[in-house]
Amino acid sequence: MGYQVWVEGRCELAEGEILKTKCLSYEPRRFFLFGMRFFFGVWLLFVGLSKWIFMGPGAFVGYIASQFDKTWSPHLLNVSLAWLIMIAEPVLAGLILSGKKPRLVWTLTALLMFLLTIGQTILMKSDVIANWQYTVLVLACAALSEPEPATPALPNGKN
């Protein structure tokens, strides 16, 4: 009787051993990125979906707008950014978990984390350091991810 093993982003059947996980033999960079993809992706998915499920879009957008309307930030921008957060968090989480175009996805996630950091700075929240840590962490994931392979040039120099 076989069992399932997670290998290279897909589940395969293996025979014999109780648990055989190839990710434990990854070199350090790949192991770190694998772990971050799983843990950060699941966390960001939970955070993103909880806004839709537990708060609801109207309540979340209203909350963000009411917080930032007390600052110099214009109301339309506050509402737009609240919707951006609502949409970007679950979408980026899904992309992180998929493992497709990792450098681009981690870079976009770092930009989202920086946006959240700026927001907390505008509100003068003392816990802004947590978003700085997330920003640095996902930027490190972007830096450690392999860039997309360049399209090789054709012999005549045209692509």
Residue 10 lies in a domain: no
**Which range has the worst mean pLDDT, 14-28, 104-118, 126-140?**
14-28
Residue 154 is classified by DSSP as P
Tell me whether residue 9 is exposed, middle or buried, using C-beta atoms within 10 angstroms of its C-beta: 0 to 12, 13 to 18, 19 or more: exposed
Residue 107 lies in a domain: yes
| 57: containing domain | 26-144
Residue range 11-66, pLDDT digits in tens: 444 444 444 567 777 788 888 998 999 999 999 999 999 999 999 999 999 999 99
Residue 51 lies in a domain: yes
Q: What is the pTM of this model?
A: 0.76
Residue 35 lies in a domain: yes
Residue 60 lies in a domain: yes
Distances (CA, A) of 91 to 56, 87, 136: 17, 6, 20
* Whole-number pLDDT of residue 149: 63
Residue 159 lies in a domain: no
Residue 5 confidence class, pLDDT cut points 50, 70, 90: very low
Domain count, the chain: 1
